[in-house]
Amino acid sequence: MFKKQAKRPVILFFGQISKLCWVGLVGLVVILGAFGLYVMNTEPPAYFSVQSSLPVNASVDPSIQFEVETVLQDVSGENYFVNYRLKRDQFRQETKAMLSELLNSTVDKSKEKAQEQWLELSSKMHQEGEVENLLKIKGFQDVVADVSQDNITVIVYAPSLTANEVKIIQETVVRVTKVRLDKITISARK
């Protein structure tokens, strides 16, 4: 009447083992995740002091001689171009800081004016950078450009400029800024 229950085939037995492996793997991931959270919460966070330097309690060896040298700003040669860019960038950062405060203003008129000035500054920076980079690509050692509403000034690191070099500078500036030639001032500085 009742037939003897047949033995399970081998294939089903391996199917059970793979389920056990998956359950074990998931359990291991959960345990490792919990351990990781525990370690992260018990480890004190890194602390960086606001103090820019730490006091040193070491005594100074009297045999060590100190000399103080005052370096004056060099406004000639390549340093002129570096200093010019540094001052220009500093001024622009200050201008952007003031404009960003106005952009967050609740007064619509102030906000619109700040947006216009921000766009003008961005356009000016883009044009100056493009003129400077194009002229460097064309073989000039160093260049600074100053784009304003009334005129554009280009200063080139060179003892003097040939007529061909002036023409190259003028064509580049006109192509980038779309201004008339009489609005462009070009100087050489060594």
Parse the chain into domains and list their residue ranges: 78-189
What dihedral do alpha carbons 112, 117, 121, 126 form, nearest 10°?
40
pLDDT tens for residues 168-188? Answer: 999 999 999 999 999 999 999
Query: And the tokens for 74?
Result: 């060099």
176 SS3 class: helix
For domain 78-189, the CATH class is mainly alpha
pLDDT tens for residues 56-89? Answer: 444 545 555 555 555 455 555 668 888 999 999 9
pTM: 0.58
